[in-house]
Chains A and B, each alone.
Chain A
Amino acid sequence: MFLDNLGDALNLFLAWESFLAVFVGVFIGIVIGAIPGMTTPMAVALVLPFTFAMSPVTGILLLLGVYKGGLYGGSITAILIKTPGTPAAACTVLDGYPMAQRGEARRALDMALYASVFADFMSNVALILLAGTLASFALKFGPPEFFTLIVFSLTIIAGVSGDRMIMGLVSACMGLLLATIGLDIIYGSERFVFGEVELMSGLNFIPVLIGLFAIPELINHFASPPSKKGEASALGNTGATFADFKRSFPSILRGSIIGVILGSIPGIGGAPAAFLSYSEARRTSKHPETYGKGEIDGIAAAEAGNNGVAGATMIPLLALGIPGDVITAVILGAFMVHDLKPGPLMFQQNIDMIYAIFMGIMLSSVFMFILGKLAIRSLSRISDIPNRLLYPAVLVLCVYGAYAVNNSMFDVLVMMVCGLLGFAMLRFAIPTAPFLIAFVLGALLEDSFRQSMRISDGNTEIFFRSLICWAFWALTVVTVFLLYRAHKKSIPLA
C-alpha cells in the first residue's frame, strides 16, 4: 500500500515542471526576501495567480519555494546593510552586521545559509514524520500558554542590553508602547490614534524596523569622524568553515527544534522563534558577552530558529486544515483553488499528492543551498560599495520598500521618524535591540494576556492552568535568576 502510494507520488513529482517550480520559487523568495519592504506573504500572494494554470502539486511547490526562499533571503540585507528584509531577520542583524563591519560578511552569510538550510531540512523531516503528534500538541496552546511563552521570550531583552540593563528596559518599554498604537482588540477603542486613520491598524513592522536600523547608520555616517567612516567593509575572502559549523551546531540544532515546535503552533511565526533560539544560544554560551558584537553563533541560532518554522507551519495546515500564518493561509487558498481540502481526509484521499509535496519540500532545501551560495557571491558585492555611495542608495531602497508595504506615504513617514528615534538612541547609547524585540512581540504579549483575562473573567490563575504554562514560568524564573547573577558578577564592588 505504502509503496503504491509512493509510486503514485513519484509519478506526480518526477516532472520537470515540479523541479522548475521549486527552483524558481526559491529564487523568487530569496530575491524578494532580500528587498526591504517586500515581505514573504506579499511574494507568495503575488505568485499565487500564476499557480492557477498549473497542476496542484507544481503550483503548491512554487508557493512553498517562495516561502522558504523568502525566509532565508531576509538575512542577506540584514547582514550586509543592516536592513532586515523580514521581521524575523531583525534578530540576524544583531550579530550579522557587526561581523560585516569587521570584514567577515562572507563568513556571516555562509553561516546564515548553513543554519537556514539545516533548520529547513529538520523542519521538513518533522513535517513528514511528526505531523500528527505536533499538530495535537499545538492545539493545546491557548492564550495563557502563548502569554507565558512570550514572557519567556522577552527575557532575551536582558541578554541583548549588554552592560546597559536599565537602558535596555527603557528601550523595551518604548517598543511595547509603540506596539499599543491602533485599535484595541477587545473593545475596538482607538489607542494613540488621535484621528489619524493610518494609525488605526497600528504601526507596520517593516517601516519601523527599517527606520530603526538603516536610517541611523546613514545619519551616523555623516556625524562620525572621518576615521570612523571608512569604506564599507570588504566581503572577506574566507567563508564559514566546517569548524564554525561544528562549533555552532548545538545552537543550530536547538534553534531548529525551537523553530519546529513554535512553527507548528498556529499564529506564532518566525520572529519569536528566532529571538527565543538566539536567547537560548546566548544563555547556554560560555561567552555570552560576545553576542550582539558579531558572534557567529548568534547568527546561526537566529537563522535556525527563523527557518525551522518553515516546514512546521505546514503541519497544522496539512494535518488539521488550519493555516498557522498569513503565508499558509495563501497556500490554503491555492489548495482550495484546485479543489483540495487539507486536513485528515486529504491524508486518506490524496496521500500521493501529500507525498509528492513532501518530496518537493525536501528538494527545496537543496535548491536553497545552491541558490544561497550563488546569492552570496553576487548580492554580497554590496559590501564592496563605498559608504558614500551605499548609504544614500540604501535610503532610496528603504523609501521604496517602506512605501510598498501598504502603498502608503504614511509608512515612509513612520520609517523616517523611527530613523530619528534610532539615531537618538544610538547617540545616547540606548540599545535598539530590546526596542525591536518588544515591538515585534508586544502585540502578541498584550493580546494573549487580555484574551486570557477575558476567558477567565479576570482570574489570574489561568496563567497557571497547564503544565505548559508552569514549564514556561519555571524557565523564565531560572533565566532571570541566571541573568541577575551574571549581571551582579559584572559589577565590581565599589
Chain B
Amino acid sequence: MKTIHRSDLGVGIGLVALSLILYFVLIPQGISEPSKLSSIAMSPRFWPSVIAAMLGLAGLVVIVQQLASRSRLGAATLASPEEHEDPTGAKGRWIKAIACMVWSFVYYASIPYVGVVAASFATLLFLTWMGGERRIVLMLLLAVLLPSLLYYFFNYVAHVSLPLGIFESLR
C-alpha cells in the first residue's frame, strides 16, 4: 500500500525550491566550466544539472500526488510520520532532541579548545543525564573511561594524533 504523508506537500515544495536554487545559483556559481567542451556531457556541470532536474521533477510529482490525494481523501485522512506517537510530553521530548542537536555542535566546536577527551567527558555526562541516568558513579565511570580508552587506542595503537586543546602539554 502506497503511503502519502501530510508533510509531503512541504517536502515537494522544498524540493522544487532546492532544484531551482541548484540550477540557477549553486551550479553556475559553484562549478566553473572550461571554455572548450567536446560534448555537453563532458561538462563538469552536466551531472549536477541532471540531478537538479531530477530533484525538481520528483518534487513536482510529490506536490501533484499530495494535491490529488487531498482532493480525493481530504487532508485529515493522510498519514503522518508522527501520528503513531504518544502526544504526552511531546514538547519536552522535542526540547531534549533540540538540546541534543545543539550540544552535538557545541561538542564539535569545543574540541579544538579543550581537546577531544575533555569535550567527550562533558558530552557523556550531559547526554546520559538528559537521557534519564541518575547513577553518578556509573556516569562518571563512563565519562572518564570511554574517552580515555579511545584516546589511548587511537593515539598509541592507531597513531592518530587526536587534538588535546589546552591539555596538549599532557601528551
Contact = CB atoms under 8 A, between A and B. Distances in A.
Nearest to B33: A189
Contacts of A16: none
A53 to B, nearest CB: 18
Binding site secondary structure of chain A: helix
A400 B2 contact: no
Contacts of A169: 54, 58
A378 to B, nearest CB: 15
Nearest to B107: A399
A396 B150 contact: yes
Contact of B44 (A191, A225, A457): A191
Contacts of B136: none
A222 B99 CA distance: 9
B127 interface: yes
Contacts of B163: 403, 409
A42 B26 contact: no
A221 interface: yes
Interface in B60-83: 61-62, 65, 72, 81-82
B39 A392 contact: no
A2 interface: no
A428 B10 CA distance: 10
Binding site secondary structure of chain B: helix
A215 B100 CA distance: 10
A290 interface: no
Size bracket of the B interface? 35 or more
Interface residues of A, number: 74
A225 B86 contact: yes
Interface string A150-185: 000000000000011111011001101100100010
Contacts of B48: 177, 180, 191-192
Interface in A380-396: 386-389, 391-393, 395-396
Contact of B5 (A42, A391, A428, A454): A428
Interface in B22-66: 22, 26, 30-34, 38-39, 41-42, 44, 47-48, 51-52, 54-55, 58-59, 61-62, 65
B147 to A, nearest CB: 6
Contacts of B39: 453, 457-458
Contacts, number: 200
A189 B101 contact: no
Contacts of B108: 399, 409, 412-413, 416
Contacts of B30: 190-194
Contacts of B160: 403-404, 407
Contacts of A176: 47, 51
Most chain A CB within 10 A, of B22, B44, B112, B120, is at B44
A419 to B, nearest CB: 7
B161 interface: yes
A222 B128 CA distance: 11
B147 A170 contact: no
A83 to B, nearest CB: 14
A223 B93 contact: yes
Contacts of A177: 22, 48, 51-52, 55
Most chain A CB within 10 A, of B55, B88, B127, is at B127
A164 B12 CA distance: 13
B72 A494 contact: yes
Contacts of A134: none
Contacts of B55: 170, 173-174, 177
Contact of A396 (B85, B97, B120): B120
Interface in A209-223: 215, 218-223
B128 A173 contact: no
A174 B59 CA distance: 12
Contacts of A409: 108, 111-112, 163
B162 A403 contact: yes
Given A164-B3, A413-B108, A429-B81, A397 B93 contact: no
B81 A391 contact: no
Nearest to A35: B153
A226 B90 CA distance: 10
Nearest to A176: B51
A389 B128 CA distance: 6
Given A399-B120, A446-B47, A412 B131 contact: no
Nearest to B112: A409
A386 to B, nearest CB: 8
A485 interface: no
Interface of B: 1-3, 5, 7-8, 11, 15, 22, 26, 30-34, 38-39, 41-42, 44, 47-48, 51-52, 54-55, 58-59, 61-62, 65, 72, 81-82, 85-86, 88-90, 93-94, 96-97, 99-101, 104-105, 107-108, 111-112, 116, 120, 123-124, 127-128, 130-133, 138, 142, 146-147, 150-151, 154, 158-163
Interface of A: 32, 38, 42, 46, 163-167, 169-170, 173-174, 176-177, 180, 184, 186-187, 189-194, 215, 218-228, 386-389, 391-393, 395-397, 399-400, 403-404, 407, 409, 412-413, 416, 419-420, 423, 427-430, 446, 449-450, 453-454, 457-458, 490-492, 494
